[in-house]
Amino acid sequence: MRNASIARNPEPEADDPGAGGVTAVTRALALMEAFNVGEPSLSLAELSRRSRMHKTTVLRLVRTLAMSGYMVQREDGEWRLGPATGWLGARYQAGFDVNNVVEPVLRQLSSATGESASFYAREGDIRACISRVEGPQAVRHHVRIGERLPLDKGAPGRVILAFMGEKGKVYEQIRQRGYHISIGEREPEVSSIAAPVFGLNWKLLGSICISGPSARLSLKKLEAHAKIVIKASNQLSYALAGSRSAQTPGVVSAWHPS
């Protein structure tokens, strides 16, 4: 759910045609997103503070949401999310295919960098290539979907280990930087750069990377691509994990102002 620091625009009530949205709907969603994971209920005053809306506006909206089961008022006067939000989430999960979200992001990343883009997830003591989009270059680094590779060699595996809490100077640096560059670590002539991807409740899901021949992907070139890779990892994390919350790792905000 959305953190208190991420709020919608304050009053007035009128719709904003320029934004192409309906203000009342946007504000109703903001109230439901005001709850952080693990918060059973919020007072009207706290909802007002987090959404930056007047209490009268908040009261009118929560009462409307309650009519459809999206909000419920407790006996102590505080408000909680209603059962309709759970049904909505269940419907989403039932129709969700991670590859429908991952592949478009990989295609954008490959198009932006001109290199092959991959998504890796941890499977025990190794990492597996879950999704991949080949780059347009005639000479490129080849990896098959489903291929299993070491965790401790190559940027994607190192990033996964770092954000799963692996100890050591190199992993602390990765956590602070938000990405990792590997040149000839797993294969002598292959370079890559990777960043973490987070899923539900902001738990590490895997890593996203671009890779290619070291002759083309020098350290300078990889550093130039860092911003693009981070942007792709953020985009994918927000799609899979939802809005920012207290659980959101700080690295996700790198080069991605809210």
List domains and CATH numbers for the chain.
17-94 (1.10.10.10), 98-253 (3.30.450.40)
Task: Report the alpha-carbon distance of residue 230 to residue 227 in Å, rounded.
Answer: 5
For the chain, 258 residues long, give each residue's pLDDT as a single digit of tens: 444 333 444 444 444 444 557 899 999 988 998 887 678 899 999 999 999 999 999 999 999 999 999 999 999 999 999 988 878 766 655 555 666 788 999 999 999 999 999 999 998 888 999 889 998 877 666 678 888 888 999 999 999 999 999 999 999 999 999 999 999 888 888 999 999 999 877 889 899 999 999 989 999 999 999 999 999 999 999 888 776 766 777 766 554 333
DSSP string, 204-252: EEEEEEEEEETTTS-HHHHHHHHHHHHHHHHHHHHHHH-S--TTS-GGG
